Amino acid sequence: MTTFLCAIGTATPPHLIPQPQIADFMAAALQLDAPDTRKLQALYRVSGIGQRYSVLPDYGRTNGDFTFFPNTPDLEPFPTVGQRMGVYRQHALPLSVAAVEDCLRQVPEVEPRDITHLITVSCTGMYAPGLDIELVTTLGLSTAVRRTCVNFMGCYAAFNALKLADAFCLADPTACVLIVCTELCTIHFQKNNEEDHLVSNALFGDGSAAALVRSRPVAQGPSLALAAFHCEIEPDGHKDMAWHINDFGFEMTLSSYVPRMIQRGIRQLTDGLLAKLPVELADIRAFAIHPGGRKILETIEQELGLTAHDNRFAYQVLREYGNMSSATVLFVLHELLQSLTPDNNQDPVLSFAFGPGLTLEAMLLTVAYCQCAAVGSVVSSAAEQG
């Protein structure tokens, strides 16, 4: 039996801030001198990011009038974890609801009460009763819906949510699984001049993505059959990509060595995935790669012989949203889904994501493009491939 990623909805907070404005905010907040300001602005220019979204308007302001950070030159007293979690609790629910509504609009035959499993994913905030229960109440899901939370796994967490959804559907063909990945990365800005923090501050934005997984594709249009998953851990990267809770927020470690480690492990990851299926890398023309950063995308292209056009959906998401942690790869898959036509039916799609550990996740999907009367034959064909 095969399971299908049937729809993906996305949502962003209202504050769209151009990358140069964020650089100006950071330079002022870090109280950098002129030479260091120029270096920081150069880092932001080469990031591949044109703009990011935030629940905080402060990043577009350099002359005070902040709503979250103190209106002092050094932003002291700096916001505590408790204050940041208060912002998370205020904004995570409405952003998640917007993503779910966008997702379910694409599958009109599915009502909220039809959802049997809810998987919530986040590494940027938590509370209890949590986002999962609030979604049940707000969306009108069944109070008997089976809830699972995937927390604090970072940028690759959507893959674990998809693995869970796949397992639920394989165990119960009537299952209808809703995944919600919501990340408010920008509430965790760290006022620190170390390189790891400067890089993290230059990359991350806020967003939410919701995905629907079940044992049959949509009746009209494209779905993605979940064909196979594979995971590898690069132990040498244990300290180079990490995520810690400290007194003044969640602190991301993202060293400049990460692209090299991904380069070292990406071929083994790809070979391990494709060894499970009668598919060669040369057969794959569609890719959905988590844009952890421009350098990471370029490194994967060099190692696997891909082009920037192969990676176009990842570059588009990076440019328009930045890195939104776990939600990001679903944004990339959303863009890919929107581009599919009947000619893409049965095309393989290769997807990657990376996170703390250093963890490398891979997934192979197959396009199932249905046109009403052809649903049965497409499902059978996809099942044979799976």
Q: What is the pLDDT of residues 179-219, one digit of tens each?
A: 999 999 999 998 888 887 888 899 999 999 999 999 999 99
pLDDT, one tens digit per residue, over 315-335 is 999 999 999 999 999 999 999
Comparing 158 with 247, the larger pLDDT belongs to 158
- The percent of residues above 70 in pLDDT, for the chain, comes to 91
Kindly tell me the sign of the dihedral angle through the C-alpha atoms of 374, 376, 381, 385.
positive
User: pTM value?
Assistant: 0.92
Q: Is residue 62, in this structure, part of any structural domain at all?
A: no
Q: Is residue 347, in this structure, part of any structural domain at all?
A: yes
Are 215 and 3 in contact by the 8 Å Cβ rule? The answer is yes
Are 147 and 181 in contact by the 8 Å Cβ rule? The answer is no
- What pLDDT is attached to residue 246? 78
- What pLDDT is attached to residue 378? 45
Q: Encoding tokens for residue 366?
A: 């197959």
Q: Is residue 309, in this structure, part of any structural domain at all?
A: yes
* Burial of residue 43 (number of CB atoms within 10 Å: 0-12, 13-18, 19+): middle
- Residue 309 banded pLDDT, cuts 50, 70, 90: very high
Domain that holds residue 243: 220-385
Q: Is residue 370, in this structure, part of any structural domain at all?
A: yes
> How many Å apart are CA 205 and CA 182, to the nearest integer?
11
Question: Mean pLDDT score of the chain, rounded to an integer?
Answer: 90
Q: Is residue 97, in this structure, part of any structural domain at all?
A: no
Are 379 and 367 in contact by the 8 Å Cβ rule? The answer is no
pLDDT > 60? residue 67: yes
- What pLDDT is attached to residue 238? 52
pLDDT > 70? residue 253: no
Are 311 and 297 in contact by the 8 Å Cβ rule? The answer is yes
* Number of domains into which the chain is organized: 1
Which residues are catalytic, by number? 155
Q: Is residue 275, in this structure, part of any structural domain at all?
A: yes
> How many Å apart are CA 98 and CA 76, to the nearest integer?
34
- What pLDDT is attached to residue 372? 65
Phi, psi of 361 (to 5 degrees): -115, 140
- What pLDDT is attached to residue 150? 97
- What pLDDT is attached to residue 242? 57
Query: Residue 60 contacts by C-beta under 8 Å, 6 or more apart in sequence?
Result: 15, 17, 18, 21, 22, 25
Comparing 245 with 170, the larger pLDDT belongs to 170
> How many Å apart are CA 121 and CA 228, to the nearest integer?
21
Q: Is residue 23, in this structure, part of any structural domain at all?
A: no
Are 327 and 207 in contact by the 8 Å Cβ rule? The answer is yes
Mean pLDDT value of segment 111-115: 97
Q: Is residue 363, in this structure, part of any structural domain at all?
A: yes
* Burial of residue 246 (number of CB atoms within 10 Å: 0-12, 13-18, 19+): exposed
> How many Å apart are CA 4 and CA 215, to the nearest integer?
6
Comparing 189 with 356, the larger pLDDT belongs to 189
Alpha helices in 116-257 (DSSP H): 131-139, 157-171, 195-203
Which range (156-160, 215-219, 260-264, 303-307) has the least confidence?
A: 260-264
CATH of the domain at 343: 3.40.47.10
pLDDT, one tens digit per residue, over 13-42 is 999 999 999 999 999 999 999 999 999 999
> How many Å apart are CA 58 and CA 224, to the nearest integer?
39
